[in-house]
Amino acid sequence: MRAGLAAVLFDLDGTLIDSAPDLAAAANEMRGRRQLPALPFAQLRPHAGSGARGMLGAALAMHPGDAGYEALRHEFLQRYEARMLVLTRPFEAAPALLDTLDRHAVPWGIVTNKALRLAHPVAQALGLLPRARALVGGDSTAHAKPHPAPLLEAARLLGHAPQACVYVGDDPRDMQAARAAGMGALAAAWGYLGPDQPVHAWGADGVLEHPAQLLNWLELA
């Protein structure tokens, strides 16, 4: 294992699992209910990493603080929860990556901004639990990413100092949270990435084009 490191933390959506098809479908259901045509998946996918906020912004041009936003957010979450395991799967190479970490006895956990009531059943159904040593959701601490609190809580649950952990995520906020927590920061370029800054401008310690590249970075392959 790379010197100084003892554990790995992952974002969930866009890093370990591909939930964008179900998130986009829930958004298009809302458009259909309002007699609006469905948007192409490619147009919605980059916003999937921001959950309800991203989907409502892309699909209905509604943003936090807008009149009626909270009601739409509630509707979106209801629609998403009803179908969140229809199309969602682990990214193709993610299971083999986690198997290798397990074989090397490298503890790993998940830190997501997804509410725990959604994150837990998804992670369990896709075989990530109970293998993950920690699952920290967006409502597990007083603050969500990019605040460092969720990452610090995950490090505590794993029993390692933050400096001994590296965080892998597909959003600039993931890199900000990792830096604020004193952790290594790796960008998952196979993820959703968002519509703004290009991934190489995030200030990560490394940009991984494929999950297996994490093993090279950790010096396990």
Beta carbons of 88 and 18 less than 8 angstroms apart: yes
pLDDT-derived band at 221 (thresholds 50, 70, 90) equals confident
> Active-site residue 170, yes or no?
no
Each residue's pLDDT tens digit, 100-148? 999 999 999 999 999 999 999 999 999 999 999 999 999 999 999 999 9
**pTM of the predicted model as reported, rounded to 2 decimal places:** 0.95
Nearest CA among 112, 113, 51, 111 for reference residue 84: 51
Nearest CA among 195, 181, 23, 173 for reference residue 112: 173
What is the domain partition of the chain in residue ranges?
A: 7-18+88-217, 20-83
DSSP readout, 5-55?
--EEEE-SBTTTEE-HHHHHHHHHHHHHHTT-PPPPHHHHGGGGGGHHHHH
The pLDDT of residue 1 is: 86
How far, in Å, CA of 50 to CA of 186, rounded? 18
Quickly count: other Cβ atoms within 10 Å of residue 196's Cβ: 9
User: Which CATH superfamily groups domain 7-18+88-217?
Assistant: HAD superfamily/HAD-like (3.40.50.1000)
The pLDDT of residue 197 is: 85
Q: What kind and span of H or E run contains 214?
A: helix 213-217
Instruction: Please state whether beta strands 206-208 and 184-188 pair in parallel, antiparallel, or not at all (unpaired).
Output: parallel
How far, in Å, CA of 112 to CA of 191, rounded? 14
How far, in Å, CA of 190 to CA of 201, rounded? 16
Rg (the chain; Cα; Å): 17
Each residue's pLDDT tens digit, 179-198? 999 999 999 999 999 888 89
How far, in Å, CA of 89 to CA of 111, rounded? 18
Model confidence at 98: pLDDT above 90: yes
Q: What kind and span of H or E run contains 135?
A: strand 135-136
